[in-house]
Structure 1
Amino acid sequence: MSNPKTILKLDVSARGKASVSRQLADDLVARLLEADPQARVLTRDLSTGLPFIDEAWIGANFTDPAERTPEQKLKLALSDTLVNELRSADILVIGLPVYNFGVPATLKAWIDLVARARETFRYTENGPVGLLDGRKAYVVFASGGTAIGSDIDFASGYLRHMLGFVGITDVSFIAADQMMMDADAKREAARAAIEDLAGRAA
């Protein structure tokens, strides 16, 4: 009997329960669970804050694991936890609110903590290769005025690139963009997209 799948859900928005990206990500996870009731869900709320990498973190990360001091291991402990969460996931669901045309600082901090050479990617003579292939990612993109894929959208392309950088190339975006224009219509379109994607995942 195969092991149940793990869904890792990243909540990013600082708006809490009022967040459209959180609500739609919850809807998506609920539909994925309907399709696979045995799947387990692991939630990481990034809105509570993550530390930014600093000189000590970089020094610890580039020290051979066998030679790291207890202080260096402690410095990398949270990063190790986040990397292990990502490794354990078969499906990644990210609720992505657009802040000032880009990703929120907490999501960028998460990316900096999980994009680690020898852990989630490796360097080869042909360039970097991601180590987390075989996973599926869904990104729920919510914005007030930024159209997904537009010239002022610096969030979706960046996130797709970074996921691909660590090997996650099967990425689907669900957009509730430009909510200031027609929030109800945008939300319903996103919910319809969730139904469609979840149905195909069943």
Structure 2
Amino acid sequence: MKNILHIISSPRTGISFSTKLGKAIIENLIVAYPSSKVVERDLTIDPFPHLQQKHLDAFFTRPENRTEINATDIKHSETAIEEIKRADVIIISVDVYNFNIHSTLKAWIDHIVRSGITFKLADTGVEGLLTDKKVYLAVASKGVYSEGPMKQFDFVVPYLRFVLNFIGINDIEVLRVEGSSIPAEQETILEKSLNEWSLIA
């Protein structure tokens, strides 16, 4: 049994390839781990606020000193971090927009990367505190970024790898649905991505 957290960041709802890929990964996981529980967090339906001073004030106020306003301002962050802590497996569905992630996903990241909570400064450098997690990045893009001339513009996967490593998550697998702007590829790219992936239970 696995606790699975699915983060959806595409505003394209049911037609998003990254969302479809994420759900397909979950279906495969459930076959391997039949009693698994899935929590879905759609950031486009329930978006996290972009960081403001009030959020930072709440982050750096000790719990015993927080006001009711602080508690409200920190709620998104506390909820997101608790969801991650409970999860064994995290699937992050990511569409590539203008060579980067959607702002809804960036806002979520800003609420989970917190000093003393998900990482800390140690004598040897930064130590990530969210360990023993498996992450699947379900990445969809109209172009092809995994190889060829556009590979140098793949800012999404390196960034997500870095920020996840920073908070202690190092077991990361990337699945891609690429070339959705190519008419001949549109009908088969999702199936192709899944066929190239083998789940090791």
Query: 1:144 corresponds to which residue?
Result: 142
Q: Which secondary structure state, in structure 1, belongs to the residue aligned with residue 34 of structure 2?
A: coil
TM-score by length of 2: 0.92
Q: Confirm or deny that 1:95 pairs with 2:93.
A: yes
Say whether the 8 Å CA contact 2:3–2:86 is kept in structure 1: yes
Equivalent position of 2:196 in the other structure:
193
Query: What one-letter code is carried by the residue in structure 1 that aligns with 2:142?
Result: G
Measured on the aligned residues, the alpha-carbon RMSD in Å equals: 1.3
Identity %: 32
SS across alignment from 1:93 = strand
Opposite residue 175 of structure 1, the aligned amino acid is R
Aligned residues: 195
Three-state SS of the structure 1 residue aligned to 2:152 is coil
* 1:24-43 → structure 2 map (5 Å cutoff): 24-43=21-40
Stretches of structure 1 that go unaligned for 5 or more consecutive residues are none
- Cα distance in 2 for residues equivalent to 1:55 and 1:170: 33
1:53 maps to a residue whose letter is: L
Counterpart for residue 158 of structure 1: 159
1:47 CA displacement: 1.3
Q: Secondary structure of 2:91's match?
A: strand
Q: Which residue of 1 aligns with 2:60?
A: 62
CA displacement at 1:188 relative to structure 2: 2.6
Helix, strand or coil: the match of 1:160?
helix
Aligned to 2:2: 5
Partner-residue secondary structure (3-state), 1:158? helix
Q: Give yes or no for contact 2:48–2:76 (8 Å, CA) kept in 1.
A: no
In the other structure, the counterpart of 2:186 is 183
Alpha-carbon distance in 1 for matches of 2:19, 2:58: 34
Could you tell me how far 1:111 is from its partner in structure 2? 0.2
| CA–CA distance in structure 1, aligned partners of residues 52 and 94 of structure 2 | 25
CA distance in 1, matches of 2:32, 2:190: 22
Q: After TM superposition, give the deviation of residue 66 of structure 1 in Å.
A: 2.0
Give CA deviations for 1:165-190 in whole Å, capped at 9, x if unaligned: 11110000001122223233432321
Moved over 4 A (4+): none
Residues 1:83 and 2:81 aligned together: yes
Query: 33-42 or 144-153, which moves further after superposition?
Result: 144-153
In the TM superposition, residue 152 of structure 1 has moved relative to its aligned partner by: 1.0
Q: Distance in 1 between matches of 2:56 and 2:90?
A: 26
1:20 to 17, 27, 30: 17
Contact 2:91 2:137 in 1 (8 A): yes
Most deviating of 25-34 and 146-155: 146-155
Asked if structure 2 preserves the Cα contact closer than 8 Å seen for 1:129 and 1:167, the reply is yes
1:108 Cα offset (Å): 0.3
Q: Does 1:44 align with 2:41?
A: yes
TM-score with structure 1 setting the length: 0.92
The gaps in structure 2 that reach 5 residues or longer are none
The one-letter amino acid paired with 1:43 is E
Instruction: Find the counterpart in structure 1 of residue 110 from structure 2.
Output: 112
In the alignment, is the contact (CA less than 8 A) between 1:8 and 1:92 conserved in 2?
yes
Q: Report the AA paired with residue 193 of structure 2.
A: A
